[in-house]
Amino acid sequence: MRINRNAVRRWGLLLAVVAAVNTLTTVAPVVPAQAADGAYCECVKYVKTRYALTHIGDAFLWETYLPQEGFTKMSVTTVRVGDIAVWDRTEEPQVGHIAIVQAIYGSSQGLAMTFRGAHQRGTPQFTHNGCNNVTDWVSSSAWSTAAFFHR
């Protein structure tokens, strides 16, 4: 049996291309930045930095503060991407929670939202607005206990 060296080279090249393409398709999704940069932030600091807000206080207090910062309280039926979500002390005992609505969509469980914020559920962590512990938290139920604000 005679081996054609040109055919072997072509097959070798084809296999190398297929291997390279398969490697590229398994690359993990890109996040905005690595979590090593920036500082560890509480949820309030992340939202304050993103919207240049001036008040100081725990997250649950922002339901009172946001109207003073020019935000209007919205119902869940009018919430938009970019709105601020505030939870009272039942979400995070003692301090509440605050985050930004990143996405709104239907799911098999009904309405679902993605909340971007610091010091919250979700993975992977990435750096955004100088905070190295930011995540996108996806939930099909957390929106039901939040108050939403839009400016």
pLDDT for res 51 = 96
Question: Where do we find the tokens 């084809």?
Answer: 14
Specify whether domain 31-150 bears CATH 3.10.20.30: no
> What 3-state class would DSSP assign to 10?
helix
> Which pLDDT does position 36 carry in this prediction?
54
25 C-beta neighbours (distance < 10 Å), count: 7
Distance CA 145, CA 84 (A): 13
Q: What was the pLDDT predicted at 16?
A: 37
What lies within 8 Å, CB to CB, of 34 at 6+ separation is 126, 127
Mean of the pLDDT values across residues 102-130? Answer: 91
Which helix (H) or strand (E) segment holds residue 22: the answer is helix 5-25
Q: How far apart are CA 138 and CA 64, in angstroms?
A: 25
Can you give the pLDDT at residue 34? 47
Domain spans in the chain, listed from the N-terminal domain onward = 31-150
Binned at pLDDT 50, 70 and 90, residue 89 comes out as: confident
The model scores a pTM over 0.85: no
Per the prediction, the chain carries an average pLDDT of 80
For residue 109, give both structure tokens: 């469980």
**More confident of the two residues 31 and 3:** 3
Instruction: Give the dihedral sign, CA 26/31/35/41.
Output: negative
Q: What is the pLDDT of residue 40?
A: 93
E strands, 21-96, in order: 72-74, 84-87
- Please give the single-letter amino acid code of residue 44: V
Alpha-carbon distance 52 to 59, whole Å? 15
